[in-house]
A and B are shown apart, each in its own frame.
Chain A
Amino acid sequence: MTMAEWALLVLLGALSLASALGLLLSRNAVYAALFLVLNFSVGAVIYLLFNAPFLAVTQVAVYAGAIMVLFVFVIMLLGAERLAPAENPPGLAYQRPLAIILAVALLAVAAWALLSGAQIEPSPSVAPRPDSSPQAMGMWLFGPYLLPLQVVALLLLAAMVGALVLSRKS
């Protein structure tokens, strides 16, 4: 990779981290949601770095566009934007130690991957570039990945049922 490529990668990583921190530190839930939108968008640009434009645009359309709209709606729906988080919510006491353990585990895996000398730098000029065009995506989705695709359809169906059941007063 050239210097420019490294600089771009570092810059995007920093942006991604900063938006994630912004999300965690926002006192107002609407701002937190917007930081998450920013985070998803930076993620989309990182997908572009890995030559996956279809995934990048999908990330923006589905995550930044659709799912976060739901988040914003739900925050506004509950009037939750101004609520101060409860200090020690009952029933969630186990979450903090669990989060710490998981974070340490993740860091350990990342460190192991770095130290074990796994090849982290692809050789871009030599490796053949996989075809990432939408046409190729279509051939894969309806070829080798047909079963997962139909499972997704089932999942969406289940989600539809769930959404309606949850939104009703029972």
Chain B
Amino acid sequence: MQLASSKLRWFLAMADFVPVFILVLLSTGLALLVLLISVLFGPRRRAQNATKLMPYESGMRPIGVAQRRLPVRFYLIAVLFILFDIEVVFFYPWAAAFRALGWYGFANMLIFAALLLVGYVWLWRKGALEWESVDKS
């Protein structure tokens, strides 16, 4: 972009991301505008009774609050996601540089991936990847 050569010379990476920032601002503005339209044009009815404002639970009266303690397997999924996500992030620069790294890069990535695959196989054998059985064992 032309920005890179203008005054912001120090922030080359920043200049590359200018379209991203503008798009973020535009789309946030758009979303807020849509919410505002609803407030401006939607009918405002005085009659708000408790039944209308009740949570919709198929016509049943809700028992207790909905925000309560949840199954632990969501926690396990999230932790495993972090670990594999970090692994993915390491794969990207390796993939970009792979043609320069050659066999050396291949061997080292094999070691890196093998260490994680050991963990993966272990998780599988322990049943951590079974959605149903996580909290039974």
Interface residues, chain A, CB within 8 Å of chain B? 1-2, 4-5, 8, 45, 48-49, 51-54, 56, 58, 61-62, 65-67, 69-70, 73-74, 76-79, 81-82, 124-125, 129, 132-139, 141-142, 146, 149-150, 152-154, 156-157, 159-161, 163-164, 167-169
Given contacts A4-B7, A76-B67, contact A67 B96 (CB under 8 A): no
A45 to B109 alpha-carbon distance, docked (Å): 30
B-side interface mostly = helix
Q: How far, in Å, is B16 (CB) from chain A's closest CB?
A: 7
Among residues of B, the one whose C-beta sits closest to the C-beta of A157 is B119
Most A CB within 10 A of own CB, among B13, B104, B128: B13
Given contacts A53-B13, A157-B119, A167-B76, contact A134 B86 (CB under 8 A): no
How many contacts A-B (CB < 8 Å)?
A: 166
Q: Mark B1-36, 1 if CB is under 8 A from A, else 0.
A: 000000111111110110000000000000000000
Contacting pair B90 A164 (CB below 8 A): no
Q: How far, in Å, is B117 (CB) from chain A's closest CB?
A: 10
A82 to B66 alpha-carbon distance, docked (Å): 12
Interface residues, chain B, CB within 8 Å of chain A? 7-14, 16-17, 67-76, 78-83, 85-87, 89-90, 92-98, 100-101, 104-105, 108-109, 111-112, 115-116, 118-120, 122-123, 126, 128, 134-135, 137
Contacting pair A149 B9 (CB below 8 A): no
Most A CB within 10 A of own CB, among B104, B105, B119, B137: B119
A134 to B93 alpha-carbon distance, docked (Å): 5
Q: Can you offer 9 A-B residue contacts whose CB atoms are under 8 A?
A: A49-B11, A62-B86, A125-B9, A133-B96, A136-B97, A138-B94, A149-B112, A152-B86, A163-B83
Contacting pair B79 A159 (CB below 8 A): yes
